[in-house]
């Protein structure tokens, strides 16, 4: 799968709302920073902005009541979030691998803090351990597999 063009999946955080937000669009990140109180954090992975063979959509949902962004590749989770938990579908953030069979792919972990009503995602095992062991997040497993955060893939 070499030669595929991936881009940084930008990680932002709003401390007032306790919400992590991820986007592959620098202009959308700038709007979140300038208009919605988010600050830029580091990106731990890349994603694809177009679909390639072996990739699947990464859906982005938002709950305005608890102010939480939720990302999943699972269409059943999309339906449940919309029908049972007041999320609205904001679209497809990009495309990711469904499994670890692609060379260089790494897990993209999902965690949730019920105290902060916040989903947190990372491909960095150290960040994951800190979120679970120190920051009060519960492990929710692997959402997808992603290319590593590098200049070119």
pLDDT digits (tens, 9 = 90+) for 69-100: 999 999 999 999 999 999 999 999 999 999 99
| Exposure on the CB side of residue 36, measured as CA atoms within 13 A | 17
pTM of the model: 0.93
Task: Give the domain ranges of the chain.
Answer: 6-146
116's enclosing H/E stretch is none
| Exposure on the CB side of residue 110, measured as CA atoms within 13 A | 17
* Alpha-carbon 149 to chain mean position: 13
pLDDT in tens, 48-61: 999 999 999 999 99
């Amino acid at each position: 799968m070499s030669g595929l063009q991936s881009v940084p999946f930008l990680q932002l955080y709003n401390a007032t709302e306790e919400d992590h937000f991820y986007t592959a669009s620098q202009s959308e990140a700038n709007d979140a920073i300038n208009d919605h109180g988010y600050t830029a954090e580091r990106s731990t992975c890349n994603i694809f902005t177009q679909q390639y063979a072996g990739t699947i959509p990464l859906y982005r949902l938002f709950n305005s009541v608890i102010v939480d962004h939720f990302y999943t590749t699972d269409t059943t989770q999309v339906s449940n979030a919309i029908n049972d938990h007041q999320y609205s579908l904001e679209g497809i953030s990009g495309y990711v691998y469904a499994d670890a069979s692609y060379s260089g792919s790494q897990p993209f972990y999902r965690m949730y803090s019920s105290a902060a009503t916040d989903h947190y995602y990372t491909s960095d095992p150290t960040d994951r351990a800190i979120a679970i062991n120190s920051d009060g997040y519960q492990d929710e497993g692997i959402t997808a597999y992603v290319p590593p955060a590098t200049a070119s893939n």
